[in-house]
């Protein structure tokens, strides 16, 4: 992230500068900014200042709504530069083609993606239940025996397949469009996974049955969840313990950590656990 205020010093009044959000994300060659309503008339100045300082930025978009819907898309509008919302983002040396208005993508999860990927061993079968454009699934396929990647958003799977080709792992990835529960049951993949990735923090608690269904004895699950400060980490552990009882299999918590902030006092957390 880059300080937007630094870029805008001298171009906006001190009062206006106070309204500018502190930082912005760069995804591929697209800068994604938040413009408060009071600065709407200055959005072009803000966008052009960004492009002047960051020569690699070819498009500036502003967020025009919250992350929403099953597909977890955060809509954006182009305010400067080329008229497109598709780009290629490089993360951990892998290339990810994506369209900000068609799929979920956060450039802030790179180190978390890498933490999980680094644990994968060559003989593993990995299930990524909420795969998006593949930031876990594609690097995982470089290391694992096989990756099953599922997403309900057809655009996410279209990009994931293209990204598999770009990164030369298409022979190790099976990609499916659909609700992960339906896809997994349809293919009768009972106890097939050595590792299950569940990055849908707003709803992953509702899909623990899917993880328990595909997990082999000894499989590791990476369970992402949103928690308020006062619920850390019990709110998420409670969900896992409830599932343990419901599905009659033991679990062991391996690791729990914060991996990003959603709002003041609200965290994205990950719990890694084993299913026996």
Ligand X SMILES: C[S@@+](CC[C@H](N)C(=O)[O-])C[C@H]1O[C@@H](n2cnc3c(N)ncnc32)[C@H](O)[C@@H]1O
Cα 125 from Cα 120, distance rounded (Å): 9
Q: Does the footprint of ligand X cover residue 32 (CB under 6 A)?
A: no
Q: Which of 131, 147, 169, 220 binds ligand X (CB under 6 A)?
A: 131
Tell me whether strands 146-151 and 125-128 are parallel, antiparallel or unpaired: parallel
Fill in the per-residue mask, 63 to 102: x = in contact with ligand X (CB under 6 A), - = not in contact.
Answer: -------xxx------------------------------
DSSP string, 154-185: HHHHHHHHHHHHHTT-GGGEEEEES-HHHHHH
Shortest Cβ 213–ligand X spacing (Å): 13
The Cα-based distances of 10 to 50, 129, 145, 155 in angstroms read: 14, 48, 55, 42
The Cα-based distances of 85 to 30, 44, 66, 93, 136 in angstroms read: 8, 17, 17, 22, 22
Could you tell me the two tokens for 52? Answer: 């002047």
Q: Does the footprint of ligand X cover residue 153 (CB under 6 A)?
A: yes
Residue whose CB is less far from ligand X, 80 or 157: 157
Residue whose CB is less far from ligand X, 12 or 169: 169
Q: Does the footprint of ligand X cover residue 140 (CB under 6 A)?
A: no
Q: Does the footprint of ligand X cover residue 200 (CB under 6 A)?
A: yes
Q: Does the footprint of ligand X cover residue 204 (CB under 6 A)?
A: no
Q: What is the DSSP letter of 35?
A: -
Q: Does the footprint of ligand X cover residue 208 (CB under 6 A)?
A: no
- The partner residues of 2 in beta bridges, in order of sequence, read 24
Q: Does the footprint of ligand X cover residue 174 (CB under 6 A)?
A: no
Which residue ranges make up the site for ligand X (CB under 6 A)? 70-72, 104-105, 109, 130-132, 135-136, 150-153, 156, 179-180, 199-200
């Amino acid at each position: 992230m880059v300080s937007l205020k630094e870029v805008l010093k001298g171009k906006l009044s001190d009062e206006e500068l106070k309204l500018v959000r502190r930082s912005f994300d760069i995804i591929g060659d697209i800068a994604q900014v938040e413009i408060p309503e009071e600065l709407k008339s200055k959005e072009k100045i803000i966008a052009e200042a960004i492009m002047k300082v960051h020569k690699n930025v070819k498009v500036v978009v502003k967020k025009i709504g919250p992350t929403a819907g099953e597909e977890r898309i955060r809509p954006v509008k182009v305010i400067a530069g080329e008229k497109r919302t598709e780009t290629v983002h490089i993360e951990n040396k892998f290339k990810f083609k994506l369209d900000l208005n068609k799929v979920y993508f956060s450039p802030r999860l790179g180190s978390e993606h890498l933490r999980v990927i680094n644990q994968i061993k060559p003989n593993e079968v990995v299930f990524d239940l909420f795969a998006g454009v593949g930031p876990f699934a594609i690097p995982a396929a470089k290391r694992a025996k096989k990756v099953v990647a599922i997403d309900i958003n057809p655009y996410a799977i279209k990009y994931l397949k293209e990204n598999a080709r770009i990164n030369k792992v298409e022979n190790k990835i099976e990609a499916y469009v659909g609700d992960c529960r339906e896809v997994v049951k349809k293919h009768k993949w009972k106890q097939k996974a050595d590792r299950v990735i569940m990055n849908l923090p707003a709803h992953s608690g509702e899909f623990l049955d899917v993880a328990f269904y595909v997990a082999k004895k000894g499989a590791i699950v990476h369970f992402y969840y949103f928690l308020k400060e006062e619920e850390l980490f019990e709110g998420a552990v409670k969900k896992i313990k409830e599932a343990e009882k419901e599905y009659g299999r033991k679990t062991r918590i391996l690791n729990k950590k914060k991996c990003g902030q959603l709002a003041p006092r609200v965290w994205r957390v990950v719990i890694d656990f084993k299913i026996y």
